[in-house]
Chain A
Amino acid sequence: MKSKLIATAATLLLAATTSAFSAERVKFEMWHGLTGDLGSAVEEVCKRFNDSQTAYEITCTSQGSYDNALQNAIAAYRAKKNPTIVQVFDAGTLDLLLSEAYVPAGKLMEDNGYKINWSDYVPAISNYYADSKGVLNSFPFNSSTAMLYWNKDAFAKIGKSEAPKTWEETFETLKALKTAGYECPMAWDYGVWQTMEQFSATNNIPIATKGNGYQGLDAEFSVNKTKFVDIIKSMKKAYDDGLVKIKTQDTGATIVQAFSNADCQLMLSSIADHGTVGKTQKPDMQWDVAMLPILAGGERHNSLVGGASLWTLKGKSADEYKGAAAFFNFIAQPDAALFFSTRTGYIPVTTSGFEFMKAQGFYDKAPYKGRELAIASLNASRITENTRGIRLGGYVQIRKEMRDALVEIFANKVSVEEGINSAVERSNAVLRKFEKTYGGKQLP
């Protein structure tokens, strides 16, 4: 073992000397959670950055999933081997804010001499990630929101040429589709993100007290007292009438697969799936996206952003932070937004990026036409307490509790009220434990 030790020491020394020779470029790392062709897209962004200048070199490493990226970054941070930048998904924002492990985005850019126009960010995106003072601490990166996907061919059969605007109209449409002989009018996968979070935001309904948690760690989950209960009741009724079918990987097809194959005629899904539907659709199928339906008589509010943001972690050298700042500056440029949105289904995060893409004619033709509605949906209203976002501790567990409850409700194991009440009760236990773990800490 001793000789191994010496050998390791020798290689370390060797590594140190070789890097001294090629030290013109400062190297730094970014860990992300995307895989498949999304992972490749991120790596292309990194490569474009490396090719654009000669001072810095970023290495982008996929960690296999959002969870693994966060978890491995934590493990590495505690062992003082962390990367400079890490991608953290939306629901993990609060954990990072409370971690004291990050360098605030604003400070990073200021220290390194970059001027960022923070008001250029789409308000629904920047507000979601910002702290209670409205300051952005991370850079919104891959972003999306939920949309209604509808099959134009099927709608033509029932004499319709537009997507439903309200939930009431949606259920009427589903009935008509059923009558017209469609086996599966709408595909649904118990999506909590779409049916609870986006539903509540677009209808300006709270999901938790204290401004959905933005005003304090003592917030309580409260969806059992809102119209969310009613929409689930309506969905359950529609399901019992055969208007809504459950489509998950375990039934043999996800909602996206079922919609793309024209088996189901409507679905609520992320705008990021726009490209997927295009690539896997049944040939010649006519379809489009629309903003999510809202409740009749209500006023449309903005939908929520989903996705992830990029955080800078503490413990790196000044040179590496310079590199990180240069990278963030690079991805904030409008043509970087155009590149990333062309390559993936994600939307631009800044207004200037969006305007640039519009000017380039990006949204004018297939396959990208329709994606501009995502920005319209995010900009549908001024941000209110209920549409800002969600800042609850242990939110991954809360999402799961709600999903489990919905599964039980739709399998007729419990009533709608029972199911939602028990999910809320269990979620509040998660929140209280989180509050206690961070006892005495102020929500930044």
Chain B
Amino acid sequence: MIERTPLLNVTTYIVLCIGALMVFIPLWLVFVGATLTVREINIPELHLIPGNHLFENLSAAWERGHLGERLTNSLIMSLGVATGKVAMSAITAFGLVYFRFPGRMLIFWLIFITLMLPLEVRIVPTYAVAANALWPFQSILDATGISGIIASLTGIQLALEWNLLNSYTGLILPLIATATGTFLYRQFFLTVPDELLEAARMDGAGPFRFLTEFLIPLSRANMAALFTIMFLYAWNQYLWPLLATPDRAGFGTTAVVELKMLAPNVSTTGGGTPDWNVAMAGCLIVMLPPLLLVAFMQRYFVRGLIATEK
């Protein structure tokens, strides 16, 4: 499409450049912080010019934080969460939008309410669930007397246990169990014209084929956006991985948890070297994979449907 709009183009560039500048300033400060010595970073002034200690800070952070192994853990967890979330959200939203069954709205709201109470608030019982994910079901069986019946019939004492601590499953599953993606897909499916379903039906497509061959290809840009955001969301999680991975020597933990361990202690009675330079260097390392992923995911942001070349 060829249009001549020079004034508007200049304005657009100005907007883009101001936006980019606002993104860069804080990132630059983090970078500069990672290049200073512990003495320099503690001089109370705004540091804008990088020092020349970047590599020693990076290697200090890398070693102290065991970041090599931790980044692998983070990567597996984040990919798991992003993939799981995209898949789970798509099928849930599909079920909610394209089917009519009793209690449908109730289920939508039940899923939606999970957005309204953060993990911080329910940490103690959530730990218990992570230690034994079958605890809720055991309790229900006990309360309803079913386990009693089983015990008297078969002589087996039912003791369900599925420990999720120190496992990728345990890291991933609870982070998938929220509503953001479901809501996004619901919004998207609602915009899909009804005629599409009718056309698919005439084609003889059942629900499963309709989802995989019609809806999913249509939602590519949204899917890329959701995948990116969920990856970043999972990557930056702190509290859940901290709880779910007590075995640091064996299973290890995620990079962000380790990053927090690198940061100087902030406690009531002082102490500890305020080596924020190393912490900032750790930030740089931990930030890098997500930044690369964002750049990589760009290729999936393409016009949907009948995209024509310019």
Check: A379 CB closer than 8 A to any chain B CB. no
Q: Is the CB of B44 within 8 A of A90?
A: no
In the complex, what's the smallest C-beta–C-beta distance from B168 to chain A, in angstroms? Answer: 11
In the bound complex, CA of A36 to CA of B268 (Å): 15
| Set A4, A64, A75, A306: member contacting B128, Cβ < 8 A | A75
| Set A38, A74, A280: member contacting B38, Cβ < 8 A | A280
Interface locus among B4-12, B21-29, B243-251: B243-251
Contacts A81-B246, A263-B44 given; indicate if A74 touches B124 (C-beta within 8 A).
Answer: yes
Contacts A65-B266, A76-B246 given; indicate if A38 touches B42 (C-beta within 8 A).
Answer: no
In the complex, what's the smallest C-beta–C-beta distance from B59 to chain A, in angstroms? Answer: 15
In the bound complex, CA of A253 to CA of B235 (Å): 31
In the complex, what's the smallest C-beta–C-beta distance from B265 to chain A, in angstroms? Answer: 5
In the complex, what's the smallest C-beta–C-beta distance from A193 to chain B, in angstroms? Answer: 6
Q: Is the CB of A280 within 8 A of B39?
A: yes
With a cutoff of 8 Å between Cβ atoms, the chain B residues found around residue A89 in the complex are 267-268
With a cutoff of 8 Å between Cβ atoms, the chain B residues found around residue A253 in the complex are 44
Interface string of B266-280 (1 = CB under 8 A from A): 111111111100010
With a cutoff of 8 Å between Cβ atoms, the chain A residues found around residue B243 in the complex are 72, 75
In chain A, what residue has the closest Cβ to B258?
Answer: A62
Interface string of A50-64 (1 = CB under 8 A from B): 000000000101111
Check: A260 CB closer than 8 A to any chain B CB. yes
In the complex, what's the smallest C-beta–C-beta distance from A37 to chain B, in angstroms? Answer: 5
- Interface size of B as a range: 35 or more
Check: A270 CB closer than 8 A to any chain B CB. yes
Q: Is the CB of A307 within 8 A of B269?
A: yes
With a cutoff of 8 Å between Cβ atoms, the chain B residues found around residue A144 in the complex are 269-271
Which B residues between 71 and 126 are near A, CB-CB below 8 angstroms?
Answer: 123-124, 126
Number of A-B contacts (CB under 8 A): 148
With a cutoff of 8 Å between Cβ atoms, the chain B residues found around residue A63 in the complex are 242
Which B residues between 167 and 212 are near A, CB-CB below 8 angstroms?
Answer: 167, 169
In the bound complex, CA of A201 to CA of B302 (Å): 69
With a cutoff of 8 Å between Cβ atoms, the chain A residues found around residue B272 in the complex are 34-38, 272, 276, 344-345
In the complex, what's the smallest C-beta–C-beta distance from B121 to chain A, in angstroms? Answer: 12
Q: Is the CB of A273 within 8 A of B271?
A: yes
Check: A257 CB closer than 8 A to any chain B CB. yes
With a cutoff of 8 Å between Cβ atoms, the chain B residues found around residue A360 in the complex are none
| Set B248, B261, B268: member contacting A306, Cβ < 8 A | B268
Check: B257 CB closer than 8 A to any chain A CB. yes
Q: Is the CB of A36 within 8 A of B273?
A: yes
| Set A4, A39, A75, A78: member contacting B265, Cβ < 8 A | A39
Check: A66 CB closer than 8 A to any chain B CB. yes
Number of A interface residues at 8 Å Cβ cutoff, please give it.
61
Q: Is the CB of B260 within 8 A of A35?
A: yes
Interface string of A256-294 (1 = CB under 8 A from B): 111011010000011011011001110000000000000
Contacts A81-B131, A81-B165 given; indicate if A142 touches B271 (C-beta within 8 A).
Answer: yes
Which B residues between 262 and 309 are near A, CB-CB below 8 angstroms?
Answer: 262-275, 279
With a cutoff of 8 Å between Cβ atoms, the chain A residues found around residue B167 in the complex are 8
With a cutoff of 8 Å between Cβ atoms, the chain A residues found around residue B130 in the complex are 79
- Interface of B, helix, strand, loop or mixed by DSSP: loop
In chain B, what residue has the closest Cβ to A346?
Answer: B271
Check: A71 CB closer than 8 A to any chain B CB. yes
Which A residues between 1 and 51 are near B, CB-CB below 8 angstroms?
Answer: 4-5, 8, 12, 29, 31, 33-40
Q: Is the CB of A76 within 8 A of B127?
A: yes
Q: Is the CB of B269 within 8 A of A75?
A: no
Contacts A5-B162, A144-B270, A307-B269 given; indicate if A261 touches B128 (C-beta within 8 A).
Answer: no
In chain A, what residue has the closest Cβ to B39?
Answer: A280
Check: B43 CB closer than 8 A to any chain A CB. yes
Check: A91 CB closer than 8 A to any chain B CB. yes
In the complex, what's the smallest C-beta–C-beta distance from A307 to chain B, in angstroms? Answer: 5
| Set A35, A72, A270: member contacting B269, Cβ < 8 A | A270
In the complex, what's the smallest C-beta–C-beta distance from B216 to chain A, in angstroms? Answer: 24
| Set B248, B249, B271: member contacting A345, Cβ < 8 A | B271
In the bound complex, CA of A35 to CA of B278 (Å): 13
Q: Is the CB of A34 within 8 A of B131?
A: no
In the bound complex, CA of A281 to CA of B246 (Å): 37
Q: Is the CB of B42 within 8 A of A280?
A: yes
Check: A440 CB closer than 8 A to any chain B CB. no
Q: List 19 extra interface pairs beyond A33-B267, A36-B275, A37-B275, CB under 8 A.
A: A4-B169, A8-B163, A12-B163, A34-B267, A35-B260, A35-B263, A37-B272, A38-B265, A39-B265, A62-B261, A63-B242, A71-B124, A76-B246, A79-B130, A257-B274, A269-B270, A279-B38, A280-B38, A344-B271
8 tightest A-B CB contacts, nearest first:
A272-B271, A270-B270, A253-B44, A306-B269, A75-B127, A36-B264, A79-B131, A79-B128
* CB<8 Å pairs between A and B, sample of 18: A5-B162, A8-B162, A8-B163, A8-B167, A37-B275, A38-B271, A59-B249, A61-B246, A72-B242, A75-B243, A78-B124, A78-B127, A144-B271, A253-B44, A257-B43, A275-B271, A345-B271, A399-B268
Interface residues of B (CB under 8 A from A): 38-39, 42-45, 64, 123-124, 126-128, 130-132, 162-163, 165, 167, 169, 242-243, 246-249, 257, 260-275, 279
